[in-house]
Amino acid sequence: RCGARPPPGGGGGKRLRVVIDGKYAAESPPSASFSYSAPRVVAVTPGTGDSQGGSRILVQGKNFGLTDSNPVAFVGPTRCEATSWTDDAAVTCVTPPWTAGPVVVPVSVEVYGQRSAETPQAVYQFGSAKAATITSLAWTRAPTDGGFTITIFGSLFGQAGAAASLARPPGAGPPAPCERTTWVSESKVLCTAPPGVGAHLPVTVQSRDFPAASSFGSVSFDYDAPEVTAVSHTAGAIGGGMRLTVTGFGFGTE
């Protein structure tokens, strides 16, 4: 009997090989193979777009690979026109065209032959022929307690009544609404940042007239990184178990 820690990776049906003193000893049968956890999709933003395709959407989840695993995203049964790996928790997809709308279809990600299961959160709606877009942000960083105003620039924000929100880190829940959204024009909206944590967070604007728009890539928002200023104890027993008080700021409000 022996134990081993698997290396980072992905996929299923991995057969285990035992090597003793540099020599091959044995290999597990297919019935005793090893599988990594399958990818999982927890959010898709924006959740609606043009049935002509070509919209860029952010797919968030887990187990997309610690390095670029050449994942493939699907909208319904159709491959995205392009899939770009960001990290283990996010990929971007350029949506394929759809024959008719409005219609809601599942979104999935395949990594090393393993495909995520369909869930109610992992869906995309093809609908309007026009959709809002976000092109840039003014003020892209704020303290974790929020309260700062972000200026969002883009197009098709409607005539009034737009609502803006900031994404939370993957697994931390749905986007957080801005404490206050002020519609300025069809191309400009102000958002008072809510409390939060995280970096490279997409910003979403939902207008009354068009499907929602989310920012991508460098057009993102960062909360200030946490900083430690003091630790209650700087030494302890090697057996662990000591309770430490860590003091600093930027740890979040929850």
In a domain, 29, yes or no: no
pLDDT value at position 240?
Answer: 82
Neighbours of 168 (CB within 10 A): 18
- Tally of domains within the chain: 2
> Do 45 and 124 fall into the same domain?
yes
We report the CATH number of the domain holding residue 51 as 2.60.40.10
pLDDT value at position 15?
Answer: 66
> Do 52 and 76 fall into the same domain?
yes
> Do 167 and 106 fall into the same domain?
no
pLDDT value at position 11?
Answer: 66
User: Which of 105, 129, 153 marks a domain boundary?
Assistant: 129
In a domain, 44, yes or no: yes
> Do 75 and 119 fall into the same domain?
yes
Give, as one character, the DSSP assignment of residue 120. T
| Per-residue model confidence as pLDDT tens for the chain (254 residues) | 666 676 666 666 666 777 777 766 667 676 666 677 889 999 998 888 878 888 889 999 999 988 888 999 999 889 999 999 999 899 999 999 887 666 788 999 999 888 998 887 788 988 755 667 888 998 888 888 888 999 999 888 877 788 888 888 777 778 889 999 999 998 999 999 999 888 888 888 888 767 677 877 678 888 888 888 899 888 888 878 888 899 887 787 76
> Do 66 and 139 fall into the same domain?
no
> Do 43 and 118 fall into the same domain?
yes
User: Which of 85, 103, 129 marks a domain boundary?
Assistant: 129
Q: What are the strands of the beta sheet with 176-177, ordered from one edge? A: 176-177, 163-166, 203-206, 213-214
What range does the domain containing 103 cover?
39-129
In a domain, 159, yes or no: yes
- Give pLDDT tens digits for 7-63: 666 666 666 777 777 766 667 676 666 677 889 999 998 888 878 888 889 999 999
Q: Give yes or no for a contact between 182 and 189, defined as CB atoms under 8 angstroms apart.
A: yes
pLDDT value at position 130?
Answer: 63
Q: Give yes or no for a contact between 115 and 14, defined as CB atoms under 8 angstroms apart.
A: no
> Do 171 and 114 fall into the same domain?
no
In a domain, 30, yes or no: no
In a domain, 103, yes or no: yes
User: Which of 85, 100, 129 marks a domain boundary?
Assistant: 129
> Do 114 and 197 fall into the same domain?
no
In a domain, 26, yes or no: no
pLDDT value at position 85?
Answer: 93
> Do 47 and 110 fall into the same domain?
yes
In a domain, 239, yes or no: no
> Do 164 and 199 fall into the same domain?
yes
> Do 102 and 154 fall into the same domain?
no
pLDDT value at position 83?
Answer: 95
In Å, the largest CA–CA distance within the chain is 73
pLDDT value at position 46?
Answer: 84
CA 223, CA 251: separation in Å to the nearest integer?
Answer: 10
> Do 147 and 161 fall into the same domain?
yes
User: Which residues are CB-contacts of 75 (< 8 A; sequence separation ≥ 6)?
Assistant: 93, 95, 96, 98, 105, 107, 124
Which amino acid, 244? L
- Give pLDDT tens digits for 153-162: 988 887 778 8
pTM for the full predicted model: 0.52
Neighbours of 234 (CB within 10 A): 7
In a domain, 250, yes or no: no
